[in-house]
Amino acid sequence: MEQLANDNMYVIDLGHIDSAAEIIFELSNMLDSENARNKKICLKLGNVDLNQAQLLSIKSLINGINSILSSVDTKSTETEKVALALGIIVSNVSAENSTENIPAMPYKSAEELKEQMEAENTEIHDVMQNSQENNHDENINNSDIENNRDLNSLPNIQENTDINEAVQNKSESFQTADNTAVEELTHNENEQKNELKDELDIIFGSNADKSSIFQMAIPEEMYESKEGITDIAVPEYEYTKEDIELESFPTKYIKQTIRSGQVISYEGNIVIIGDCHPGCEINAFGDITVWGILSGIAHAGSGGNQKARVRALKMNAIQLRIANCYSRRPDSLNTVYIEKTNSFTPEEARIVNNEIVVFKIND
C-alpha cells in the first residue's frame, strides 16, 4: 500500500489486494485522510476483476470527498473494459513501472531541495562574505534569515544575533554601527529561536550544514534598508525604547474609503488604502498613513506618543492632532474639492517644538 502525492495528484496503490470488497474497505479508510481531498485520484489495482457496480461505488466514494477518479491502473481486462465504459482513463502497466506514470512530479526530497538552494545562493553568499569578512561570522548570517521573516521589527537584528550566540555557544564578538539601546531589549525570543532550529533540523537533517542554508538571506540588503528607513523615519532622533515600542505596534490595514461620520480607532498604527473624506475621524496610538487624500480629522499618537506621525498622499485634513498637540487647516485652504491627479506630493506631519508641522516628503 503506497501513497504518493503531488500538488493535484493523489495515488492510491491497492495492487496487493485481491478481492473487491477489501478494496472498497481499504479505499474508504484511506480516503478519510485529509490529503485525499480535492485531488485527482489515480487508483492502482492488481488482478482483481471489478464489475460496473463496484467501480461506480468506488467512484462515488471518491466524489464524496470532492475528489475525482481520474485514472485507473489495472492488470485485469475485465476491469479495464468497465473503466473505459465509465469514461475513466486506464493505464495498463505493470506494477513495477507504475510510479513513472504519475504525470506531475511529487515534491522533492529534502536533499535535492538543499542542493538546489545552495546552487542558487552561491553568488549572494560570495558577495556577502567579501563585504563582511572582517566583522561578521556566520552567526550573523544566521540571524539575518530570521530577520527576513520579520521585516517589521528592524531593530531585532542585533537582538536575534545575541540569542543566536547563546544558542550556539559561540561568543565571538561582532561590531556594527547600531546603537546599544536595542541590545537591552527583550530576550524572550529564545524559545522561538530554538523552535526554528528544530524545524530546520527536521527539514534538512540534523547533520546538514546550517550556515549554508542561512545564507539564503541577503544580509547586505538588510543593513542597507535599515539605514534607509532610519533616515526617512527619524532623522533627528536616536532610536530609543519608545521608538521601538512604536515600531512594534500592531498595524491595521483598511482598504476602503472612509466617509463622513465614520470613526476608526486602533491601539496601533493605521494604514488606509483610500481617501478619508471630511467628517471622518481616525485615531491611532501609533502612526497614521493614508494612501489617498486625507480630509478628515486625524489623531496620531492618541495615547500620548509625541513621535507619532501622520502621512498622506495629499494632506487636506480639517484638523491634525498628534499626541496632545492640535492644529487646524488654514482658512485659506478651505477648498471644496481636491482634484485627483496622478502626481501628488506625499506629505508628513510631525511635532517640531510642540507644534505640528507638515513636511513635503521631498524636503
Partner 1 sequence: MAGRVIVITSGKGGVGKTTTSANIGTALAKSGHSVVLVDTDIGLRNLDLLLGLENRIVYTLVDVVEERCKLKQALVKDKKNPNLCLLAAAQTRDKSSVNAEQLKKITDKLKKEYDFILVDCPAGIEQGFQTAIAGASEAIVVTTPEMSAVRDADRIIGLLEAAEGIESYKLLINRVRPNMIKSNDMMSVEDVENILSCGKIGVIPEDTGIITSTNRGEPIVNNEKSLAGRAYLNVARRINGEDVPFLDIDEPKDIVGKLKKFLSGLKKQGKEQ
Q: List residues near partner 1 by CB under 8 A.
A: 260-263, 278-281, 318-319, 326, 328-329, 331, 334, 336
Compute the least distance from the CB of residue 318 to partner 1, in Å. Answer: 5
What is the C-alpha to C-alpha distance for residues 195 and 210, in angstroms, rounded to an integer? 14
Residue 358 buriedness (CB in 10 A; 0-12 / 13-18 / 19+): middle
Report the residue number, 46 or 274, with the smaller CB distance to partner 1: 274
Using N-to-C axis directions, what is the helix angle for 219-233 and 138-149, rounded to 10°? 60
Kindly calculate the radius of gyration of the chain based on its CA atoms and give it in whole angstroms: 31
Report the residue number, 46 or 278, with the smaller CB distance to partner 1: 278
Place of cell 495615547: 303
Do the bridges between strand 68-73 and strand 263-266 make them parallel or antiparallel, or are there none, so unpaired? unpaired
What is the C-alpha to C-alpha distance for residues 271 and 254, in angstroms, rounded to an integer? 6
Compute the least distance from the CB of residue 310 to partner 1, in Å. Answer: 15
Report the residue number, 77 or 335, with the smaller CB distance to partner 1: 335
Residue 309 buriedness (CB in 10 A; 0-12 / 13-18 / 19+): buried
DSSP 201: H
State the distance between the two ends of the chain, measured CA to CA, in whole angstroms. Answer: 69
Compute the least distance from the CB of residue 315 to partner 1, in Å. Answer: 13
Report the residue number, 204 or 266, with the smaller CB distance to partner 1: 266
Report the residue number, 100 or 331, with the smaller CB distance to partner 1: 331
Compute the least distance from the CB of residue 319 to partner 1, in Å. Answer: 6
The three-state secondary structure class of 224 is: helix
Report the residue number, 203 or 263, with the smaller CB distance to partner 1: 263
- DSSP H helices, the chain, are 20-31, 52-63, 77-85, 110-132, 138-149, 156-168, 190-204, 210-214, 219-233, 241-247
Report the residue number, 16 or 328, with the smaller CB distance to partner 1: 328
Report the residue number, 304 or 330, with the smaller CB distance to partner 1: 330
Nearest to 283 by CA among 299, 270, 294: 299
Nearest to 150 by CA among 247, 271, 273, 289: 247
Report the residue number, 107 or 326, with the smaller CB distance to partner 1: 326
What is the C-alpha to C-alpha distance for residues 276 and 260, in angstroms, rounded to an integer? 8
Place of cell 504525470: 103
Amino acid at 132: Q
Compute the least distance from the CB of residue 329 to partner 1, in Å. Answer: 5
Compute the least distance from the CB of residue 33 to partner 1, in Å. Answer: 52
CA angle 245-247-253, nearest 5°?
Answer: 125
Compute the least distance from the CB of residue 299 to partner 1, in Å. Answer: 11
Compute the least distance from the CB of residue 231 to partner 1, in Å. Answer: 33
Compute the least distance from the CB of residue 336 to partner 1, in Å. Answer: 5
